[in-house]
Amino acid sequence: MSLRTPSANDSLATEPAGCRGLAQPCEPGAGRALSRLEPWLLLLLAERPAHGYDLGERLHVLPAAPDADRGHLYRTLRRLEEQGLVTSEWQTQQAGPARHTYTLTPQGLRALDAWCDHIRAARSRLEAFLERREKLGRTPATPGAHAGATSRETR
């Protein structure tokens, strides 16, 4: 499948279109990019293969990462695997139970890059918004100050 680069018009509240083209990793309108679990899991797996418990522990210590219970984490990993973004295999250790170890695929790396492009575009739009607001100064607005204000805007 082809990967579409997110445009400047893509909503801040949805996932990057490039990820949608990879087999629907997220539902449209489901949340802001950084509140989504998928990009965080892809990022952590790009750093190194890991099992679910390790991913949960690593997510927990990242201040900007979303909270995810084990069920949500494993459902998301299973969905990413079904989409071909990650693979998993059972690893048996000398001590302890066998663990499912997840590895990022080349398609998963492309999805991570699409997320990064989406986040950069969102950051750019937010910075432009903040710059425009800063130009107005920090004085409080007076009700009805805007010449075209409607009664709803002045409430």
Profile the chain (155 residues) by mean pLDDT over runs of 10 residues.
40 44 41 71 96 93 87 93 94 76 97 94 93 85 59 45
What distance in Å separates the CA atoms of residue 41 and residue 144, rounded to the nearest whole number?
Answer: 48
| Residue 117 pLDDT | 94
Q: Whole-model pTM?
A: 0.66
| Residue 58 pLDDT | 94
Per-residue CA distances from 64 to 35, 61, 67, 124, 148 (Å): 8, 9, 9, 19, 40
Match 């400047």 to its residue by tokens. 8
17-134: CATH topology is: Arc Repressor Mutant, subunit A (1.10.10)
| Residue 98 pLDDT | 74
